Structure 1
């Protein structure tokens, strides 16, 4: 049976939980939101988010939390905003969409971050069932479209890891010439990710000047104008 709880209900409960964790009252939270540029998230708004207000029919109606609200409230509460939606470790299940049953927070976390494809019709343990529906006019299935859109999720953290590995190896090679071959290997691994990003028409973050220049000098890049340099490490 599908839950009547909404994502905004979860966020509201987590706002209150983290506010109390920090010893903040509602005025404190409103003041912090104002400092972050949202003076409209007032004491009264926070009351309406957390507990709701009675409507004309006597029902409690909660103010929905927008995406803009979520970012500000998360920063105001020193809490990653996504954790307000998906409280890992403190809730067993969270709502997804009205047509589907709740799932455990980490499963939905992976959907939200693009680490896994959503499954709404399969078992609630999060195992993936391929969706073969096609988008009209493209012939692309839902599953392949999701994979294309989520592709950057894997590339950016991998770029960060390989950039750091190349940076550390370069420093070591400056003191020990025998590490030079390893440095070239790390550069080649970094270039592979940069080239993948360029082919996918993604913006490549600036690299430390020395790495960018060495990548170009060794002709490891498919597009020599990428990536840009930055003048500090």
Structure 2
């Protein structure tokens, strides 16, 4: 049986929970929202968010929290905004969509961040299965389309890791010429992820000038003119 609890219910409860965790009253939260540029999130609005209900006969209508609100309220409460939707560690399950059963918060967290593919039709024999429906007129399955859209999620953190590894290897090579080979290897690894990002038509964040120049000098980049320097590190 599907839960009648909504994502909005979870967000409202978490706003109140984190406000009380900070010892902040509603006037103070409203003032912090105003400081962040949202004076319209007033004391009365916060009361409506926290104490309203999802609706129904005889129930007070809650003021909905949209994406812009969520971002501001998360920062005002010194809480990652996604945690207001998916309270890791404090709830066993959270709602997903009305047609599906709740899932544990970390599973849905991975969906929201693109780390995992949603499996709303599971469990089947104790396992969750990807959605194999074809998207009308494309011949592509839903799961494959999701994987394509989520591809950047794996690339950007890997770029950050390889950039840092190459930077450290450059510093070692500057002190010890015998470490030059290791530095070139790390540059090659960095170039691989940069080239993958270009092939996926993704914007590559600016690289430290020294790394960018060495990548170009060694001919490791497919599109060297698209590398943006950000200064010395």
TM normalised by structure 2 equals 0.96
Residue of structure 1 in register with 2:140 after alignment: 140
The aligned residue for residue 156 of structure 2 is 156
Identify if the C-alpha distance between structure 1 residues 79 and 55 changes in structure 2 by more than 3 Å, giving closer, same or farther. closer
Are 1:108 and 2:108 matched, yes or no? yes
- Is the CA contact (8 Å cut-off) linking 2:94 and 2:102 kept in structure 1? yes
CA distance, structure 2, for counterparts of residue 55 and residue 16 of structure 1: 19
Distance 1:161 1:125, change over 3 A: farther
- Aligned position for 2:198: 198
CA contact (8 A) 1:197 1:204 kept: yes
Could you list the runs of 5+ residues in structure 2 that have no partner in the other structure?
none
Question: Structure 1 stretch 32-41 or stretch 130-139: which is displaced more?
Answer: 130-139
Q: 1:125 to 1:92 in 2, by over 3 A?
A: farther
User: C-alpha displacement at 1:101, in angstroms?
Assistant: 0.4
Aligned to 2:34: 34
Shift of the alpha carbon at 1:25?
Answer: 0.1
Unaligned residue ranges in structure 1 (runs of 5+): none
Q: 1:7 to 1:218 in 2, by over 3 A?
A: same
> Are the counterparts in 1 of residues 3 and 101 from structure 2 also a CA contact under 8 Å?
yes
- Measured after TM superposition, the shift of residue 130 of structure 1 is 2.6
Counterparts of 1:66-81 in structure 2, within 5 Å, are 66-81=66-81
Q: Describe the shift of the 1:115–1:126 C-alpha distance in structure 2 as closer, same or farther (beyond 3 A).
A: farther
Confirm whether residue 13 of structure 1 aligns to residue 3 of structure 2.
no
Q: Is the 8 A contact 1:52 1:60 kept in 2?
A: yes
Residues 149 and 189 from structure 1, CA distance in 2 versus in 1: closer, same or farther, beyond 3 angstroms?
Answer: same
Conserved 8 A contact 1:209-1:229? yes
1:64 is matched with 64
Alignment TM-score, normalising by the size of structure 1:
0.96
Number of residues paired by the alignment?
233
Are 1:103 and 1:124, in contact at CA under 8 Å, matched by a contact in 2? Answer: no
Q: Give the root-mean-square deviation of aligned CA atoms.
A: 1.8
Q: CA deviation at 1:136?
A: 1.9
Q: Are the aligned partners of 2:86 and 2:94 in contact in 1 as well (CA < 8 Å)?
A: yes
The answer to whether 1:99 aligns with 2:99 is yes
Q: 1:158, 1:45 → 2: CA distance?
A: 41
Q: Structure 1 157/124 Cα, relative in aligned 2: closer, same or farther at 3 Å?
A: farther
- The whole-number CA distance in structure 1 between the counterparts of 2:173 and 2:199 is 30
Task: Give the match for residue 174 of structure 2.
Answer: 174
Q: Deviation at 1:225?
A: 1.0
Distance in 1 separating the partners of 2:213 and 2:223: 13
